[in-house]
Amino acid sequence: MSAAVLLSFLRQNQLTRKQHKQLEEEREGPLQIVLQHSLFGEMQSAGGSADQPHPLFGGALSAVIPHSATDISELREIPDNQEVFAHAHTDQSLIVELVEYQTQVADQDAARYHFEDIAGSNKALEPGAFEVTSVVALPKPQLSLSECSSAWMLTGTQCVSKFNEDARNTVTLHLGLLRLQQFSTDVLITFNDPQSISPDSSSASAVGTHKQPWTVQEFQRLLQTLTLHNPGLFG
C-alpha cells in the first residue's frame, strides 16, 4: 500500500473505529481490536532481526517489530489506517493505527480517551470490565518520532469476548500514543496481551503453548523506534 493511497483514504474516508468494526463484521470475519486470533501456524516472521526496522504504511513510517510477528495484511484485508501483527504462537497482537487528532482532548487525557474508545468497541464499558492502572509521559528525547508534540504510554485491562462469543477473557492492554497535532493525527499503538482465557473461548487452544511471548520491553522498543520517513502520508 503506497503512502499516496493511504493519504487519499484518510482524506476521503475519515472512518471511526465503530465503522471499521462494522466493515469487518460485514466480511463475516471480524478483526477484534483486542485479542486477535493466532491460527497462523509457522508462517514467516514479519519482525525480522531484533534491530531491523519494518516498513509501515508503504514505507512512510517504520519501526522495530518484535520477533515471531505475522503481518495480518498478508492473510486478510484490514482497514487502510491500520498495520496489524499477531504473534505466531500466542494470542498476542500489535496494532499501529492512524486516527483523527482529538482537538478537544488534552494531552494528559488522550491515552485514556483512546483506551475507553477501544473498550467501547469491545463492549467492555460496564463497571469492572476495564481498568486503567498507569499512564506515563514518554520523554521525547528517547523517541525517534521527533515530530510528535507529546507521547504517552497507558497500561490497563479489559474483559472482552473474542468475535461474538459469550466467553470473556482478561487482556492486559498496553497503549502507546504519539500525538501529531501539526498533521491532525494521533498515532495509536496497542499491544494486546491476554492474561486469563476462559476455557469456553476459542483462544483456549493457545493456553500453555506460548513460545517466547512478546514483552513490554519489546513494545517499548517499537514505540521508541517509530520513525516518520514521508510526511506526505498525512497530507
Q: Which domain holds residue 131?
A: 87-195
Please check whether residue 103 lies inside any domain of the structure: yes
Structure confidence at residue 166 (pLDDT): 60
Please check whether residue 20 lies inside any domain of the structure: no
Structure confidence at residue 159 (pLDDT): 86
The residue assigned the cell 520491553 is 217
Structure confidence at residue 40 (pLDDT): 30
Residue 154 phi, psi dihedral angles, 5° rounding = -115, 140
Please check whether residue 169 lies inside any domain of the structure: yes
CB contact at 8 A, 94 and 222: yes
- What the block records as the C-alpha cell of 206 is 493457545
CB contact at 8 A, 179 and 186: yes
Please check whether residue 91 lies inside any domain of the structure: yes
Distance between CA 166 and CA 163 in Å, rounded? 9
115-121 contact pairs (CB < 8 A, 24+): 115/154, 115/156, 115/173, 115/175, 117/17, 118/17, 118/33, 118/34, 118/158, 118/173, 118/175, 118/190, 119/158, 120/18, 121/17, 121/18, 121/21, 121/33
CATH of the domain at 100: 3.40.1000.10
Distance between CA 106 and CA 150 in Å, rounded? 11
Q: Helix H segments across 59-134?
A: 107-121
Please check whether residue 77 lies inside any domain of the structure: no
Distance between CA 91 and CA 89 in Å, rounded? 7
Hey, CA dihedral for 13, 154, 183, 4, is it positive or negative? negative
Q: What is the pLDDT along the chain (235 residues), one digit of tens a residue?
A: 333 333 333 433 334 444 444 434 333 333 333 333 333 333 334 444 557 999 999 999 999 999 999 999 999 999 999 999 999 888 899 999 999 999 999 999 999 999 999 988 877 777 878 899 999 999 999 999 999 999 999 999 998 766 566 667 789 999 999 999 999 999 999 999 988 765 454 454 555 555 789 999 999 999 999 999 999 999 8
Q: Helix H segments across the chain?
A: 3-12, 17-26, 107-121, 216-225
The domain tally of the chain equals 1
**Which residues, at least 6 apart from 235, have a Cβ–Cβ distance to it below 8 Å?**
7, 10, 11, 183
Please check whether residue 102 lies inside any domain of the structure: yes
Please check whether residue 50 lies inside any domain of the structure: no
Distance between CA 222 and CA 219 in Å, rounded? 5
Distance between CA 169 and CA 195 in Å, rounded? 8
Please check whether residue 113 lies inside any domain of the structure: yes
